Amino acid sequence: MDKDRVVRFSGSARFAHWGHTVTFLVLLFTGLILFSPAVGRVLAPVFGGYVNASTIHKVMAVFFTIIPLIALVINFRGFLDWWKDVFSFGKNDIKFLMKFPLEFFGFKVDLPPQSKFNGGEKMNSVITTTSCVLLALSGYVMWFKDAFSPTLVQWAYPIHGICMILATCMVCMHAYLGSFHPGSGESFWGMWKGTVRSDWAAHHHAKWYEEVTKSQN
């Protein structure tokens, strides 16, 4: 392995990430058609009308559900490590979250050393994962509405909408931070190639980098 690079994301994590990227975006735009009539008028023709859009939405929903489950089965260890880190939410993460808004807009701040996932990434993990699970569950309730109680079906609609909004907000910020935000440079390659520059890892995820180098020596 390249001495200057460290492995950040396994193949299965990257498969789940990019699989969810594609399916989420298609689901978002086909779903927005039914979110409000104004959006529907503009977007429905793009997907060949309402009925086609709903078929695409359902097919994508199945892939959206299966992809993370496949990754989960292939690499359950990686999944556990991810959530162990997410839930080891400590003082450094809170400090990170408080100072990060300044860093987000370009001000130089001193951020405390972070583990594999920084405070913001931990929040992103919790919010997007919860939204995705609720989106899938409420989606299947609406899809197979005859199998569920009328009240549950009625609540599935606003829940699907709320989770769509939360997840989309996180996706917007996440996509920007992982690409065009000048402070994030290498993080995109971590998810694309699976590895990141060592000096970047040391700077952004000092605690994690320390662990990785220790286990390698």
Partner 1 sequence: MTKRMVFVDTSLCTGCKACSVACKAWNDLPAEKNQLITSYQAQASTTHNTWTYISMHEKYENGKMEWLMFKHQCYHCAEPSCMKACPAEAIYQTDSGYTIIDQNKCIGCGYCVANCPWGVPKTDPELKKTFKCTGCIDRVENGLLPACVATCQPGALHFGEPEEMKQIAEVRLAEVKKDFPKAQLYGDKAMGGTTYLYLLKEEPAFYGLPENPTTSASLVVWKDWVQPYGIWLIPIALGASAVSFVTTRIINSMSKSKGGDIHG
Show contacts with partner 1 in window 72-131 (CB under 8 A). Answer: 104-108
Q: What is the Cα–Cα distance from 36 to 46, expressed in whole angstroms?
A: 16
Among 10, 14, 17, 40, binds partner 1 (CB under 8 A): 40
Residues 194, 57, 80, 74, Cα dihedral to 10°: -70
Binding letters toward partner 1, positions 164-203, x by CB under 8 A: -xx-xxx-xx--x---xxxx-xx-------------x--x
Closer of 14 and 203 to partner 1 (Cβ): 203
Contact status: 155 vs partner 1 (CB under 8 A): yes
Closer of 75 and 114 to partner 1 (Cβ): 114
Contact status: 36 vs partner 1 (CB under 8 A): yes
Contact status: 3 vs partner 1 (CB under 8 A): no
Which token pair is 147?
């199998």
Among 132, 142, 191, 206, binds partner 1 (CB under 8 A): 142
DSSP string, 26-79: HHHHHHHHHH-HHHHHHHGGGGTSHHHHHHHHHHHHHHHHHHHHHHHHHTHHHH
Closer of 52 and 125 to partner 1 (Cβ): 52
Output the CA torsion sign for 210, 203, 97, 82: negative
- The secondary structure element, H or E, covering residue 5 is strand 5-7
User: Taking the CB of residue 46, how many other CB atoms lie within 10 A of it?
Assistant: 12
Which token pair is 20?
């969810």
Chain residues that interact with partner 1, rule: CB under 8 A: 33-37, 40, 50-51, 54, 104-108, 142, 145, 150-151, 153-155, 157-158, 161-162, 165-166, 168-170, 172-173, 176, 180-183, 185-186, 200, 203-204
